[in-house]
Chains A and B, each alone.
Chain A
């Protein structure tokens, strides 16, 4: 063999060897609110523990569409999403209150349309909940939204812009025909609990795992007519990552079912109210559920 051929062969061998060594990095993403950042940290730390690899975090990306776009483009390998959000914002359908239904629909469609796996639910259902002050709930003996329709002469409703716009938000609430003493006021989510505490509004549309719900003084009224859709938290994963790292899915599935709404609420509160670091809270959680 002449010199040129030997050099080319050596070059080729080096390149092939290099390819074999380089694995695709695992990029854990999250949306831009507390619960998402905590979940992202938990996933990332768990994968580091199990796979003994450095996991890159791309947390706080933005809203739903930005995060989903990042997933499709490969900017992240996975992120935690809610089944109801998948149905409402990605598939543009109205999510049903039945968690199984929403999960199955999300999983099938996303696999078909986008080659994205929706892994088994983590155990959180972050659906819309209507919240009133506990002193008022106790005084009028309210536990369900149907009771709320009968008792009060008029509610002053405070909602976030998302609840106002979503078909499974304000329009779904109309199922209860709640009497209103003033038109619903839309405002930034961060101000809702303050407004409720001050009596500026008497009922707010919140989310089931909101940190402030861990504190006393607020009561969640039961959605007895099942107006609101199910929003189970699941990890969304690019299908091509499954082949890349065979240990990935088994590791992620270990997280399924390990969460409860109460536990998530507590973690959200620790970050929002106690100002603890999400990474700290995440490590503690993994220890508590025996995954550390």
Chain B
């Protein structure tokens, strides 16, 4: 273990956390409202979910290659990496918001309407609280997946723990590869456990 490796690990872990946090926050900001919109517009569900699904299957290098030339969000660096990570994180959040809200009991929904609640009152007082646990589960899945996927940020100069992995593969250095893979795996385990604990705190 060379001197300075530990401080490098801390630095790149920090970069990695920034990538994950930014991407997840943006994915929530887009995915939850979009999911709510889909509960209102049944005809958009198949196309929107279809697109989110396709985005997930695009190999990351191909996605980067496509994003580089786009002004504002493209280029080399963490910003483009975050855009790609957001696209990958959308599906679980979008889908869970949709199913969480749709799975609210039909009788409960009918009562709410019949009592004279407006659509936004129903959303805020009935649908969101009852869907909260499912939505949070989607957020948890997206976060843990993003921790792993964020290693690809290094392919586009975006930093993070992937740098160790790419360097290690290029120079066939197992120590470097582990320096990237182990912290990432630990981060994923801790997040899954921590977020899962919070999730269970939501009333079933």
To the question of whether A and B form a pair in one complex, the answer is yes
B70 to chain A, nearest CB (A): 9
**Known contacts A198-B69, A198-B74, A200-B75; A190/B61 CB under 8 A:** yes
Contact between B171 and A185 (Cβ–Cβ < 8 Å)? Answer: no
| Main SS at interface, chain A | helix
B183 in contact (CB, < 8 A): no
CA distance A190 to B152 in the complex (A): 13
**Contact indicator A161/B167 (Cβ below 8 Å):** yes
Check B27 for interface membership: any CB of A closer than 8 A.
no
A162 at the interface (CB under 8 A from B): yes
Contact among B156, B170, B173 with A191 in the assembled complex (CB-CB below 8 Å) = B156
Contacts of A165 in B (CB 8 A): 167, 170-171, 173
In the complex the two chains form, what is the Cα distance from A125 to B105 in whole Å? 70
**In the complex the two chains form, what is the Cα distance from A147 to B169 in whole Å?**
34
Per-position binary interface string of chain B over residues 50-78, scored 1 when its CB falls under 8 Å from any chain A CB and 0 otherwise: 00000000000100110011000011110
The complex places the Cα of A165 from the Cα of B171 at a distance, in Å, of 7
B148 CB-CB contact with A under 8 Å: no
B157 contacts the other chain (CB 8 A): yes
Q: Which B residue's beta carbon lies closest to that of A161?
A: B170
Chain A residues with Cβ under 8 A from B65's Cβ? 190-191, 194
Task: State whether A188 and B61 are in contact (beta carbons under 8 Å apart), knowing that A195-B76, A198-B75 are contacts in the complex.
Answer: yes
- A200 CB → nearest B CB, Å: 4
Q: Looking at the complex, which one of A65, A166, A186 makes contact with B157 (CB distance below 8 Å)?
A: A186
Is A89 interfacial (CB 8 A cutoff)?
A: yes
Residues of B within 8 A of A166 (CB): 171
> Cβ of A109 < 8 Å from any Cβ of B?
no
Tell me which residues across on chain A come within 8 A of B77, comparing CB atoms.
Answer: 185
What is the bound-complex CA distance between A190 and B64, given in angstroms? 10
Residues in A whose Cβ lies below 8 Å from that of B173: 165
- Is B157 touching A162 in the complex (CB atoms < 8 A)? no
| Residues 152-179 of A at the B interface (beta carbon under 8 Å) | 158, 160-162, 164-166
CB distance from A188 to the nearest CB of B (A): 4
Are B68 and A191 touching (Cβ within 8 A)?
yes
CB pair A191 B61 closer than 8 Å? yes
The interface residues of chain B lying within 8 Å CB-to-CB of A185 are 76-77, 157
Within 8 A of A (CB), among B86-120: none
> CB distance A188 to B76 under 8 Å?
no
Q: Which residue of B lies closest to A200 (CB)?
A: B76
Given contacts A186-B154, A191-B68, A191-B156, contact A201 B76 (CB under 8 A): yes
A187 interface residue, CB < 8 Å from B? yes
Among B64, B69, B172, the most chain A Cβ lie within 10 Å of the Cβ of B172
Residues of A near B76 (CB, < 8 A) are 158, 185, 187, 191, 195, 200-201
Q: Which residue of B lies closest to A158 (CB)?
A: B76
Residues of B within 8 A of A65 (CB): 172
- B147 contacts partner chain A, Cβ-Cβ < 8 Å: no
B125-169 interface (Cβ within 8 A of A): 154-157, 163, 166-167, 169
Q: Decide: A187 and B156 in contact? CB cutoff 8 A.
A: yes
**Do B166 and A186 touch (CB < 8 A)?**
yes
Shortest Cβ gap from A260 to chain B (Å): 27
**Cross-interface CB contact of B155 among A188, A200, A201, cutoff 8 Å:** A188
Cβ-based interface call for A64 (8 A): yes
Nearest A residue to B155 via CB reads A188
A257 on interface, CB distance cutoff 8 Å: no
A64 / chain B contacts, CB cutoff of 8 Å: 172
Can you list the 8 inter-chain pairs with the closest CB atoms, starting with the nearest? Answer: A188-B155, A161-B170, A185-B157, A162-B170, A165-B171, A65-B172, A200-B76, A161-B166
Chain B residues with CB under 8 Å of chain A are 61, 64-65, 68-69, 74-77, 154-157, 163, 166-167, 169-173
Known pairs A89-B171, A188-B166; list 17 more (Cβ under 8 Å): A161-B166, A161-B169, A161-B170, A164-B167, A165-B167, A166-B171, A185-B77, A186-B154, A186-B163, A188-B61, A188-B64, A188-B155, A190-B65, A191-B61, A194-B68, A200-B68, A200-B74
| 25 sampled A-B residue pairs with Cβ under 8 A | A63-B172, A65-B172, A89-B171, A158-B76, A161-B169, A161-B170, A161-B171, A162-B171, A165-B170, A165-B173, A186-B157, A186-B163, A186-B167, A187-B157, A188-B61, A188-B64, A190-B61, A191-B155, A194-B65, A194-B69, A195-B68, A195-B76, A198-B69, A200-B68, A200-B75
